[in-house]
Amino acid sequence: MTKPHHESVLSRAARILEAFSQDHPVLTVSEIARRAELPLPTASRLVAELVAHGFLRRDEDRGVRIGVRLWELVTRASPALTLRNAAMPFMEGVHDVVGHHVQLGVLDGTDVLFLERLSSSDAVINYTRIAGRLPLHVSSSGLVLLAHGPAELRQRVLEGPLPAYTPCTPATPSAVRTLLAGIRRQGYAYCPGYLHADALGIAAPVRGSDGAVVAALAVIVPDGPAARQVVPVVRTAAVGISRALGAGGINRPAGRHAAGAQRGHDHPGELPSH
């Protein structure tokens, strides 16, 4: 089914660009037309114009993919890039400690969008990836962002479908509300088995210069008692990123610094699990 003919050219071009994904990085013009819900002649014309501007490029076999020009424009002035650059040294430090997955997520609609992820070949299973998305209620990063997001966002998420990925996923409004209250009270999310039975997510808020939460720093580690020692590592790193972004008046998380957590000196509490 195609979109109305009166739709703007910009909207059509945007849908063409959105047709690409990590699972489908190369498409034919026919596939683009189908995924963007455009007539084939319209898609063909717009693809040709986007190729001429460098926003798309054609392979030798006539497959179409995103062009380097888009990366160049985004890199010039992206606030996400500024956030990623501020976070990377702290993420690398956390990764040295946990040895599994460390990721940075931001709010986008009713999803968490992951800007960066550090991992290792023998790390526990993780469904997230760079530029990937997850519903807010199923991941530690998403729950942190939802807990500190606007009330209308929470209402919209709670009124919508809450699909369960595992038996532990909070899939009812009351379960999600309980978790959000605990996150705001304790300052972090602790999510055992929400996306996979073997994995546990821990996330803490990252604040911008005005004190508002702009991102979530998270780790994905094996589910088990040892994960408790990682909580102060994540919280301390999140505070460090916040300070690098200019956030003032942020108190250091309770407990000793991250190195102390490595020695098992901290015993953080755990949020309710479902």
**CATH code at 78-262:** 3.30.450.40
Domain boundaries, the chain: 9-73, 78-262
H or E element in which residue 213 lies = strand 213-222
Q: What pLDDT, on a 0 to 100 scale, did the predictor assign at position 253? A: 53
> Over 70: is that where the pLDDT of 83 sits?
yes
> Over 70: is that where the pLDDT of 264 sits?
no
Q: Which of 254, 256, 252 is nearest to 265 (CA)?
A: 256
**pLDDT tens digits along 162-219:** 999 999 999 999 999 999 999 999 999 999 999 999 999 999 999 999 999 999 999 9
d(CA 47, CA 24): 16
| The model scores a pTM over 0.85 | no
Degrees, nearest 5: CA angle 166-167-173: 100
Q: What pLDDT, on a 0 to 100 scale, did the predictor assign at position 273? A: 36
Task: Note the Cα 19 to chain centre separation in Å.
Answer: 20
CA dihedral (52, 132, 116, 142) in degrees, to 10, reads 140
- Mean pLDDT for the stretch of residues 18-43: 93
Q: What pLDDT, on a 0 to 100 scale, did the predictor assign at position 26? A: 94
Q: Does domain 9-73 have CATH number 1.10.1200.10?
A: no
**pLDDT tens digits along 84-120:** 999 999 999 999 999 999 999 999 999 999 999 999 8
- Mean pLDDT for the stretch of residues 58-81: 84
Query: How much of the chain, in percent, has pLDDT values that exceed 90?
Result: 69
